[in-house]
Structure 1
Amino acid sequence: MSRSAPSKMLIAFSSLLLAHACYSAHEHSLLSTVSQAATPSSAGIPTTGSSLPLDITLETLISVALLLVGIVSSGCELKPISLRKWAGLLESGRVAAEGVDANSAKGKGKGLFDGLEERPGFLDVRKQRKEFADWVKEQGDS
């Protein structure tokens, strides 16, 4: 069986269990309103039904918990949270991120942050500082 087959069976089982719990709760509410209609209240004010029995409440909670476990276990493999691992996977060519071809970037020596270094519209302050220092030296020599 594949990884998702047990989780799909768990989802199906817990869904049936949840449906049964809902049906039981509905039947209990109908029975409690019928029994209250047979015995009129002393003040003439209609009362609400009694709370759900413990077995219906437990069945509901267990079915919801199993359903959540099944849904989480059937999900796809999660991506690493740390940027270092993700960048390593990206540069090794195992993962292609949106807009980045990992195989071509790997061959050219491009890393994850090289796009930040190649910003054509931004001012290169270090380059201009060096050019200014060279200009000052030329002015001092003349």
Structure 2
Amino acid sequence: MARSLPSKLLIAFSSLLLAHACYSAHEHSLLSTTATTPPTTPSSSSSPSTPGTPTTGSSLPLDITLETLISVSLLLVGIISSGWELKPISLRNYAGGVESGRVLVDGQVKRGGLFGGLEERPGFLDVRKQRKEFTEWMKVQG
């Protein structure tokens, strides 16, 4: 729990920072669409824009981009650090139980193994049983 408070504070701070970056990007996009190009003289007709048209396609300033990247990075660090402890994975608990029908899950032994549900389905075709019956039948037939 002691490590939970700093991560929650980091998440809160980075969320506010990200919200500010989003607000700044929105304001910048509003300002860039309402800005007009300066009037052009008749001699400079090579410019594709006409006088008084709004400019589009301006990129975000570097400070807004950096603020966004830093806030997302801090948010990810806060989320990852607030997570629960990871448990070690030991394959030997599962591998031995697949064939024997016993698997250790969270300290409890589950009967039926990993494929126990398949064996207990009603109407499940048991090929091994049918093969054994067929072999016995062939022995009786000669």
Cα shift at 1:32: 5.5
CA distance in 1, matches of 2:92, 2:141: 50
Letter in 1 for 2:118: L
Q: Which residue of structure 2 aligns with residue 98 of structure 1?
A: none
Cα shift at 1:129: 2.6
Say if 1:22 and 1:138 are closer, same or farther in 2 by CA, change over 3 A.
closer
Q: How many residues are aligned here?
A: 126
Cα shift at 1:9: 1.1
Q: TM-score w.r.t. structure 1 length?
A: 0.60
Q: Contact 2:25–2:64 (CA<8 Å) still a contact in 1?
A: yes
* Richer in strand (by share): 2
Q: Which residue of structure 2 aligns with residue 9 of structure 1?
A: 9
CA distance in 1, matches of 2:137, 2:62: 86
Decide which of 41, 47, 56 is 2:39's aligned counterpart: 41
Say if 1:83 and 1:121 are closer, same or farther in 2 by CA, change over 3 A.
farther
What does 1:121-140 align with in structure 2 at a 5 Å threshold? 121-140=123-142
The alignment's C-alpha RMSD in Å is 3.7
Cα shift at 1:33: 6.5
Provide the secondary structure at the position in 2 that maps to 1:48.
coil
CA distance in 1, matches of 2:28, 2:61: 9
Residue 129 of structure 2 corresponds to residue 92 of structure 1: no
Provide the secondary structure at the position in 2 that maps to 1:136.
helix
Q: Percent identity?
A: 68
Residues 75-121 of structure 1 show CA distances to partners (whole Å, capped at 9, x for unaligned) of 445677x7937847x933416xxxxxx45x3xxx5422233333441
Say if 1:48 and 1:72 are closer, same or farther in 2 by CA, change over 3 A.
farther
Q: Contact 2:33–2:54 (CA<8 Å) still a contact in 1?
A: no
Q: Contact 2:39–2:51 (CA<8 Å) still a contact in 1?
A: yes
CA distance in 1, matches of 2:29, 2:121: 67
Letter in 1 for 2:51: G
